[in-house]
A and B are shown apart, each in its own frame.
Chain A
């Protein structure tokens, strides 16, 4: 199998999932790219992990009363879900259709929303928006529970258009008017929560959706040029047929899976990075009747996705750093103590799962990096990759021994980079690492003593590669 095939498969598994061990990458190359894509696009109905085992080992996951419990469970699924694309789509939608438990203050309800993203994230966009519009965490987060027939709160109605579906504008035009926002908000009046149970002493019970007909505005509304006695469902129908909605979903998918795009508010004036790619995705959106999987099928099979120019063109999100590293080193592949500490890492790196900074979600790309988060990213990845006891690292050591009896520093470094990506380094960086390896003497592994030293130096080299700026890209 060629280097190019390995590279492409690694790229696919990093983007459409959280990466894979070298063994899996090779097996997937043997399976064939098209077949792997199809497998990613058609997950089974089962949860993708052994839920029984997980709940037995971590009973608290069954009833996620605290937000950290929900975060830890999610991280477990990210590492272990065999339906990696389906799992990644739950994060994709969370970063767009985001509600924050910092306001909802009901960890159970917030975690249920994520489960819904996982279940429906590869389905029809219309179903997803209907789910969102009846989702208790969202209705609470964006104040729809305060939106009444006689006193409309526009928060949800506005963000549904601005951040969740249509976007403020495209091709230098505005996509909707303030009157559309008002009509939209009116259509969602009475979309509320059932009365809640007092929080003490058992904590909050999950909120439940309830439609209150007495509080709904049944009057006539004009929304995006169409007039009728619209309710929320009609609004979602009208939203889904807009060209701007196709553009929105296409651009979001491109941003997440292909290459970093600027944030939504600038989309009215900023052209997509690759308009031709966006057009292909828009077409899939309409041809399929708003099916996300159809769009993903076009995307993952496209030349613009496979293009080497977009490999490592995205700054890793904290989830990519943490989960990607865990999958590379093969740790926490089954329930065991210590997962909590791994699960808190994305938060230290700026991705506090289920607590987005605002309804706009996280600013991604280079904004993931600041001096504090970079220290955490480097320390986490390098401590894991430097741990020669972990199965994934052991396997890398064995593979490196196969290069030859006394590999040169260059060969050894190339071997390490190949196993960590395959990835590349700037010449200057490569030179520094080679000099360092040269200074350490020959990389022999004949005797037991030499093998121990070889393993140590492998750990050290992997650790140093994990500190590079190149390693920050996916």
Chain B
């Protein structure tokens, strides 16, 4: 069903590196789980059951209440045909919806464009992190990339406020006139003014934000806190994006401790974010989607897990219909893909379709490149 929420916002978190789906949502009643995970099996008494077959990794405890409320959708066995085991290729595929070609346009770049075709608002899409992630890339679409909201902007190296204000003033005066030095120069000046405007607006966000909610003092915690502040400020931002630090979910070794810490970081950060925007009374128009470019190998390697295919994704929000979507991939040896990977049974473009058609009210078909069946979690 298409949601009727005004100005819906899509917040996307990418767990870069390949999150181990099998140890995230755990088929604790399947004896094969223990066979595959001699070194990394999560002790049964620690698993948080959500059905009589499946349970959450203990580090996901902060998210259990959203499951109980019916606001957490778990998409099992998510992936795409002929899954690539290369992080970067697979990230690209999730970012561009182009499994056969090297695409350059990101799905969220298209979303920003469709929401704001004339680029009136330079903050329709905001990335939390540095550089421009492929998911947000589209020619002519401005995206602010905020490494740290508190220090975001132009000339941030100038410490003294008065001096910086003066410098920004001067910058504005230098960039304002289109002085006919040529098309490229005019373009740079226009872009400079856009950047200044975006930075100016964003710099007011912290001042509007009052909150007691604590976030983890990690990169993810910081990004989600910045995300809450920008959302709270009401700049008309409709796409919020962040990604876990570079490839950090790539747990080939020492996974037991490492993965648990990572999940803890993500789940506490998400819980803080949700609690925060609820307290601010601004949670109604937000849907959060969290994914990783692939899952990991069913069999552990004694210390960690290698790259796999089918994985797990989450959608969370007041308008999300909680529950399980797709099927848990079979652990039967005969049902594993080449090399012992869990088979996907939900194409990620189905999840995107649900988010775009039903939540953002856009035409998903054009963005994801075809007709994909709605998963029904919105």
Contact = CB atoms under 8 A, between A and B. Distances in A.
A357 B131 CA distance: 13
A467 B155 contact: yes
A357 B157 CA distance: 30
A344 B129 CA distance: 13
B316 to A, nearest CB: 27
Given A102-B86, A200-B252, A371 B198 contact: yes
Interface residues of B, number: 53
The secondary-structure label for the interface of chain A is helix
Q: Interface size class for chain A?
A: 35 or more
B75 interface: no
Given A348-B130, A374-B188, A433-B174, A464 B167 contact: yes
A372 B131 CA distance: 7
A372 B202 CA distance: 13
B170 A357 contact: no
Interface stretch (A289-297, A328-336, A379-387): A379-387
Nearest to A346: B131
Contacts of A386: 157-158
Interface stretch (B178-186, B233-241, B255-263): B178-186
A370 B89 contact: no
B171 A370 contact: no
Given A366-B184, A469-B185, A371 B143 contact: yes
Given A103-B88, A369-B191, A375 B184 contact: no
Interface string A206-228: 00000000000000000000000
B86 A348 contact: no
A469 B192 contact: yes
B222 to A, nearest CB: 17
B188 A467 contact: no
B48 interface: no
A458 to B, nearest CB: 14
A199 B307 CA distance: 10
A100 B87 CA distance: 12
A466 to B, nearest CB: 10
Nearest to A260: B184
B171 A467 contact: yes
A101 interface: yes
B189 A469 contact: yes
Nearest to B188: A469
A359 interface: yes
A370 B142 contact: yes
Interface of A: 68, 100-105, 199-201, 315, 344, 347-348, 350, 352, 355, 357-359, 365-366, 369-376, 378-379, 382-383, 386, 426, 428-429, 432-433, 436, 460, 463-464, 467-470, 472
The 7 closest A-B pairs by CB, nearest first: A102-B88, A383-B157, A105-B86, A469-B188, A371-B195, A372-B145, A358-B102
Given A348-B131, A371-B195, 12 more contacts: A201-B253, A355-B88, A371-B122, A371-B144, A375-B199, A379-B154, A386-B157, A432-B174, A433-B170, A467-B154, A467-B155, A469-B189
